[in-house]
Amino acid sequence: MLIASFVATVTLLMSPNPSPPAADSPVVCIAQGQLVGRRDDGVESFKAIPYAAPPVGPLRWRPPQPVALWRQPRDAGSVGPICVQPIVPGDTGVGPLPMSEDCLTLNVWTPESKIATPAPVMVWIHGGAFSNGSGTAALYDGTALARRDGVVVTLNYRLGRLGFFDHPALATGRPAGEAAANYGMMDIVAALKWVRDNIAAFGGDPGNVTVFGESAGGAAVTRLMVSPVAQGLFHRAVVQSGLGREEGVPLDGPGPRESLSIRERGRAFVDGLGLGTEPSAQTLRDLDAQALLTPAASYFGGDLLVIDGTIITEDVVTAFAAGRQAKIPLIIGTNSAELWWVNPRDATPYGVLDDALSADECVAFERAYGGVEGYNASVVSDLAFNEPARHLARLHARAGNPAFLYRFDVVAEAMPEPHAGATHASERAYVFDNLTASSWSTGARDQAAADAMAGYWTRFARAGDPNGVGAPEWPAMAPSATPERLMEFTNDGPVAKAIPFADRLDLVEAYRTRTTSPVGGCVP
């Protein structure tokens, strides 16, 4: 392990942090050069580490390329720019400005006191609908998890039309056989390859890597599990509110339900920019990145999965059903009131999920949900998150793999939203044990929940099993069990129990199995 004290006489590259490194700051040597980090309360951190070349100019809409070497020690004391995205004020999942296309960096937290054996590695993939977010947010600071004797990595990846896009002009000039469109996913794979090649220098075990992510990050995890190019780069997976039944959209040719392919969607967007009938690839690469943000891209909900034929070759649920996913331990789950504010008749990608319900199914659903009000409040969450999580857990277990299902139902007393349950993304501060980054005040009850979740997650990363001495037993998914069980995280602590609202999820499963195209829809 090449870790030493910083020598004060060296010159540093890229030092925007107003607090310069101390004379005893930690130094790590990786393949590209030296990194000078920071040490705080038993944890060493190294930030803004480039894992791929800046995807700018001729590298825009190209697969990630290798990083150039640096000759002088590089200051890794502060996070780098976030990737280009629409800014959402108050979003705790987005790190500080500036914003730049030159954003392909990652951050590492590692215990200061190294143990005799390499530590498990946890690689976080942030959410944000594949259109916003960053690995640089304070919410995702890895200090608390690293104190549990693990190495934590967070990363940025290309978003929106810079990360998930194609156009006929780009296809014309593309080298034969080069992967396209899924640039954000290619970035994540490149980051995992960086971890494989470099994490040992930080005390991490490249043979024990857990990928975990929330929302779009959770969806990215399931895609990694079925991606041919990601196999062997990780050994455990955690999916937090990561959908699972989204339909794939091909790179070219007709999409599902007669929708446009990714390439034709790109053409339609560019046609609206007034660049002429046949803009060149160079014209597109010369566009100001801000021009690609309006109108905002929609890659989440409905049919967001890009089937490019190389990085992703089939729908996630199809691969899981055939047993073609990575054969690794999996934690998967959702929150108790994911999208409580989304009405199934709203004009959103989520609003179309129930459009194929038959008249008889409408009656059965409304009865199961206790009437129209209950249906409107919960059916989108069940369609998009809860039933797909159960379905993937079942398929993974049936294929002989360890699968652990959870439901998060912790609600802080000060949370201003209606307390019908835990809203989408509210579990993140608990998983990272970063309650100070919460959007609302928390108390001792919340800290107990954070201790429990961080404990289960880090034990899982270490051994592929979240259970441990002194913690309530989390039952593995057993499809033959009656009833099936999960771990519910509650305000009073974790509780193993039968899957709540299984009758509703059974209706959703039957509906999903039956439908291939819209035929009706409930209009209560």
Instruction: For residue range 204-234, list pLDDT tens digits in order.
Output: 999 999 999 999 999 999 999 999 999 999 9
> Could you give the count of Cα atoms lying within 13 Å of 89 in the half-sphere of its Cβ?
0
The catalytic residue among 264, 338, 387, 427 is 338
419 band by pLDDT with thresholds 50, 70 and 90: confident
- Return the pLDDT at 10: 31
**What would the DSSP string read from start to end of 181-207?**
EEHHHHHHHHHHHHHHHHGGGGTEEEE
- Return the pLDDT at 6: 29
Residue with tokens 């937290």: 109
329 band by pLDDT with thresholds 50, 70 and 90: very high
Residue 168 CB coordination number (10 Å): 15
- Return the pLDDT at 276: 85
- Return the pLDDT at 160: 96
Q: 369-406: per-residue pLDDT in tens?
A: 999 999 999 999 999 999 999 999 999 999 999 999 99
Averaged over 187-192, what is the pLDDT? 99
The catalytic residue among 131, 215, 261, 438 is 215
Q: Let me know the angle formed at the C-alpha of 365 by 364 and 371, rounded to the nearest 5 degrees.
A: 100
The catalytic residue among 424, 427, 488, 509 is 424
Residue 13 CB coordination number (10 Å): 14
- Return the pLDDT at 256: 72
This prediction's pTM: 0.95
215 catalytic? Reply is yes
Q: 154-184: per-residue pLDDT in tens?
A: 999 999 999 999 999 999 989 999 999 999 9
Q: Is a pLDDT exceeding 70 seen at residue 11? A: no
522 band by pLDDT with thresholds 50, 70 and 90: low
Find out whether 170 and 284 touch, Cβ atoms under 8 Å: yes
Averaged over 452-476, what is the pLDDT? 98
**Cα(254)–Cα(11) distance, rounded to whole angstroms?**
55
Instruction: Give 352 or 17, the one with higher predicted confidence.
Output: 352
Find out whether 484 and 477 touch, Cβ atoms under 8 Å: yes
Contacts of 31 (CB under 8 A, 6+ apart): 197, 198
Residue 76 token pair: 């890794």
Q: Let me know the angle formed at the C-alpha of 102 by 308 and 44, rounded to the nearest 5 degrees.
A: 105
- Return the pLDDT at 300: 67
Q: 397-417: per-residue pLDDT in tens?
A: 999 999 999 999 999 999 998
Contacts of 406 (CB under 8 A, 6+ apart): 331, 332, 333, 334, 474, 486, 487, 488, 489
**Cα(219)–Cα(425) distance, rounded to whole angstroms?**
13
Q: 466-513: per-residue pLDDT in tens?
A: 999 999 999 999 988 899 999 999 999 999 999 999 999 999 999 999
24 band by pLDDT with thresholds 50, 70 and 90: confident
In 121-261, which residue ranges form alpha helices assigned H by DSSP? 143-146, 160-163, 168-172, 183-198, 216-226
Residue 428 CA, chain-centre distance (Å), reads: 11
Please name the fold of domain 1-328.
Rossmann fold (3.40.50)
Q: 37-86: per-residue pLDDT in tens?
A: 999 989 999 999 999 999 999 999 999 999 999 999 999 999 999 999 99
Strands 330-335, 236-240: pairing is parallel
- Locate the domains of the chain by residue range: 1-328, 344-413+427-524
